[in-house]
Amino acid sequence: MRKSFRLSILFFFGTILLIAIQVQCRHDGLNVSTLRTICFDTEIAPIFVNNCASCHNRTHSKGGYSYADYNSIMKSVTPYNA
């Protein structure tokens, strides 16, 4: 009984793992011309300011990164590469 239960659990998790491998994030080949325009100042900058700029700013650029403005952010990211 125990061996059968263990095999069932192993089979279940193995199946879940295989499904997870098959269902990956598929953004390759995404036609970016069909996406809406994003405003850096209102949609992107607040993410960096609220989550990163306390340690990565002009006066204290931890790790050499500053996320204080557009130009400094663009030095450390690659557009269209999530």
60 inside domain? yes
State the residue for tokens 């030095």.
75
Q: What percent of the chain has pLDDT over 70?
A: 83
pLDDT tens by residue, 28-53: 677 777 888 888 889 888 888 888 88
Supply the pLDDT for residue 25: 59
Number of neighbours of residue 26 by Cβ within 10 angstroms: 7
List residues bridging with 61 in a β-sheet.
56
19 inside domain? no
Residue 53 domain boundaries: 35-82
CA distance 37 to 35: 7
Helix (H) or strand (E) holding 82, with range, is none
Tokens found for residue 56:
């990565």
11 inside domain? no
pTM above 0.95, yes or no: no
Number of neighbours of residue 69 by Cβ within 10 angstroms: 15
58 inside domain? yes
* Total count of domains within the chain: 1
Supply the pLDDT for residue 20: 67
63 inside domain? yes
73 inside domain? yes
56 inside domain? yes
DSSP 35: S
Which of 25 and 81 is assigned the larger pLDDT? 81
23 inside domain? no
